[in-house]
Structure 1
């Protein structure tokens, strides 16, 4: 089940009219302005964060519910980051995700295809760089949400390929299992993958998002606010507010590969609309065409000679496409088509306390009214009754802008994320924090005793399957129908 970190705090009350006005003021006016880019967080971490979210939470409660009791809401994911969204229940119980016969330890990998209007006809017709799919295009994966947009789908695919590479290297004798003599090659690979994933979550992903010292304080000094008895739960202060920080990181357009880029020689930038279109969950074009295989050099620091694109800053603004998402366009209530309004509305339904109450409960000084009132978003907050008590999701994003200039979360947001992620991994009896706290990554990496998302991609290989060397490659030949995308 879900639960609360601060069960004694009173909920924030707000009307839909108040929330709509604040949500409207949170729309970014200049989403492609470089001044909004976050130099410390490459664009790929936005979608790694979405992948991690899908690994630990799945709340199917309808947004139309008047109010929600977190203690009665079932989480359809195990709360620990144990990659159940990747592995399911393993090849015996979920064989449709795995290869058959002697290769049953390996995940199925899908093939890309050509469709009329491909952006670059020189790209080979079929390559093993799509999610595995059934006859109707449905992705055969542990969580269908990882086929909602193309970048999170390609992130899921990267983890499928990562597992397969570990299995192959174990079989060849090039890697050693963590437990010597482990009989099952699948379990040996799974443990290696999960431990390195835990390391990425804590020391690559999380350290980029929060104040640098907070994670060390939590790991060394212990958790103070995320407390559980036997098994961890997902706090709604985390799932309904703090971890929705990723929505402010989303870009309106991406430099996706040498074909779909705003740079010279490209067909068109990869807009959010296109990233949803080329998916099975929110779109319709699957299997994906080969020229939509991602160039990971543009999303993570996998090549020292190429600077990846950046995420947007952590602040109270979201790009305009998130205010009218394709997956919500059938909603008769137009307000519910906006992710910004839905986040604020969900916070009220969950009975989340205000950001000021949480700050005080943590022994921190809340943002002042003068700090909250800055900018058009702050003016809307002040004009709509949020001067003293502010929605927690908005407060955490505003805190990041005020205290850290949008480069990372502020004190409340940092502490919630550090405590929850540390607590979830500590609550997994099979994690390295429980079994071998002094463990260091063993797979090849750019830095000894470390392992990053860039290391995972380089270890897996094929970081740029369709591109030539260089940041943008040769100018492709482009069909007229491709330009119409």
Structure 2
């Protein structure tokens, strides 16, 4: 079973740059001549359509699923629902592999991942064959019954990525050339009619020739294009994130930083220094955090989200999370996999991606996922 894709937005004859599918969408609604509803994406989580880059990544995952379905059809006798379930398994396991071995190792460091997923040698079969598999060992993530996502993760530590977002992006060579001296496109901007192409706002049909070329965002092997790097993990956010459009933030405040801090306060998150002490980590001082000129309470008990960002900036040069943020992110993501009875860590912990989905050497990462998804 294949997922439906949206319309192909390439419209310039003989111009491949910027050509590609959109997400599947409802038809736009009109009031007279005015388009009042831009076409809702037919996907499980509408938040994946809040920005052009995110929606195009979601579309890439749909395309990856469809290509995996072709492999299942060509290499197994499975049909119908059984073929779909096998396709689901392969897509999920490859995505999980990317999260563990491509994403987490970059964001928290290989040492933290290896400390949680420790090698364990098992003896299997009647011949006593030995196999080494990763076994999770958690210091803090300990669900009593079912897996969960703690607020320290969802409202603070995992929001580190907000500081990595650039204010502007080039999305493909055609649009880059067509914009000329205007430069890259702002990641967010004021709500405008869908034919106004001045920002990367989502919740609208993909404009013509706007399909993302991923070598501008990832280091794609063989590409001569220099990818746009993310910003450092620190306490600064790009300008457009200070004024989110109403489609993303319907109610004030519209500053992403302010929204994050207020949400942490409303949910009663512990301070960053409190969490550090609870984890047995010496907390950063008020002076190190740059808060020594503030009142005592805030200086001694900084918001957890701020602490995670500052810790990454000071201890890892903004290139990875520090000990508090990194441990929270690693243990929650790996904990969710460990407590999922259908994940590769639970079902077949020694599993590895194989060709044709993986490269010939067995390696698999985001660039390889994209390459496979975009095959003719």
Map Cα deviations across residues 297-336 of structure 1 (whole Å, 9 max, x no partner): 1111223333311000000110111111112798675xx1
User: SS at the partner of 2:230?
Assistant: strand
Task: Provide the residue aligned with 1:371 in structure 2.
Answer: 288
The superposition leaves residues 187-225 of structure 1 with CA deviations (integer Å, 9 ceiling, x where unpaired) of 111100000000011111111111331111112261111
Aligned residue in 1 for 2:211: 293
Question: Is residue 216 of structure 1 aligned with residue 114 of structure 2?
Answer: yes
What's the counterpart of residue 315 of structure 1? 234
1:291 Cα deviation from its structure 2 partner? 1.2
Alignment CA distance shift 1:167-1:295 (3 Å) = same
Q: How many residues are paired up? A: 342
2:371: which partner in 1? 458
RMSD: 3.1
For the 8 Å contact 1:211–1:410, the answer to whether it is kept is no
Q: Which residue of structure 2 aligns with residue 359 of structure 1?
A: 276
* Structure 1 counterpart of 2:245: 326
The aligned residue for residue 352 of structure 2 is 440
Aligned residue in 1 for 2:303: 391
Q: Is the 8 A contact 1:254 1:261 kept in 2?
A: no
Question: Residue 234 of structure 2: SS of its match in structure 1?
Answer: coil
Q: Which residue of 1 aligns with 2:4?
A: 108
Contact (CA 8 Å) 1:113, 1:289: kept in 2 or not?
yes
Partner of 2:46: 144
In structure 2, list runs of 5 or more residues that go unmatched: 29-38, 119-135
Q: Is the 8 A contact 1:112 1:287 kept in 2?
A: no
What secondary structure sits across from 1:315 in the alignment? coil
Q: Is the 8 A contact 1:254 1:270 kept in 2?
A: yes
CA displacement at 1:258 relative to structure 2: 0.7
Kindly indicate whether residue 205 of structure 2 is the aligned counterpart of residue 303 of structure 1. no
State how far apart, in whole Å, the 1-side matches of 2:4 and 2:343 are: 26
CA shift, 1:427, in A, is: 1.1
Give unmatched runs, 5+ long, in structure 1.
1-104, 464-485
Match of 1:129 in 2: 21
Once the two structures are TM-superposed, the CA of residue 446 in structure 1 deviates from its matched residue by 4.0
The 1:390/1:267 distance shift into structure 2, 3 A limit, reads closer
In structure 2, relative to structure 1, the CA distance for the partners of 1:274 and 1:162 (3 Å cut) is farther
Return the alpha-carbon distance in structure 1 between the equivalents of residues 345 and 117 of structure 2: 10
Shift, 1:391, TM fit = 0.3
Shift of the 361–147 alpha-carbon distance from structure 1 to 2, 3 Å rule, reads same
Residues 9 and 207, structure 2, Cα contact 8 Å, conserved in 1: yes
Residues 128, 255 of structure 1: alpha-carbon distance in 2 compared, 3 angstrom cutoff: closer
1:248 corresponding residue in structure 2: 163
Scaled by the length of structure 2, the TM-score of the pair is 0.82
| 2:330 paired with 1:418 | yes
Match of 1:409 in 2: 321
State the Cα distance separating 1:271 from its structure 2 match. 1.3
In structure 2, the residue corresponding to 1:234 is in which secondary structure?
coil
1:447 and 1:413 map into 2 onto residues whose CA distance is 35
What per-residue deviation string (whole Å, max 9, x for no partner) do you get for residues 5-61 of structure 1? Answer: xxxxxxxxxxxxxxxxxxxxxxxxxxxxxxxxxxxxxxxxxxxxxxxxxxxxxxxxx
Cα pair distance change 1:127/1:407, threshold 3 Å: closer
Greater RCO, CA 8 A, separation 6+: 1
CA distance in 1, matches of 2:248, 2:66: 38
CA distance in 2, matches of 1:285, 1:424: 30
In structure 2, relative to structure 1, the CA distance for the partners of 1:337 and 1:133 (3 Å cut) is: same
Structure 1's consecutive aligned runs of 4 or more residues displaced over 6 angstroms after TM superposition are 180-183, 274-279
The structural deviation recorded for 1:383 is 5.2
On the 8 A contact 2:64/2:369 being kept in 1, the answer is yes
Report the Cα distance in structure 1 between the residues aligned to 2:363 and 2:190, rounded to whole angstroms. Answer: 32
Match for residue 470 of structure 1? none
TM-score normalized by the length of structure 1: 0.65
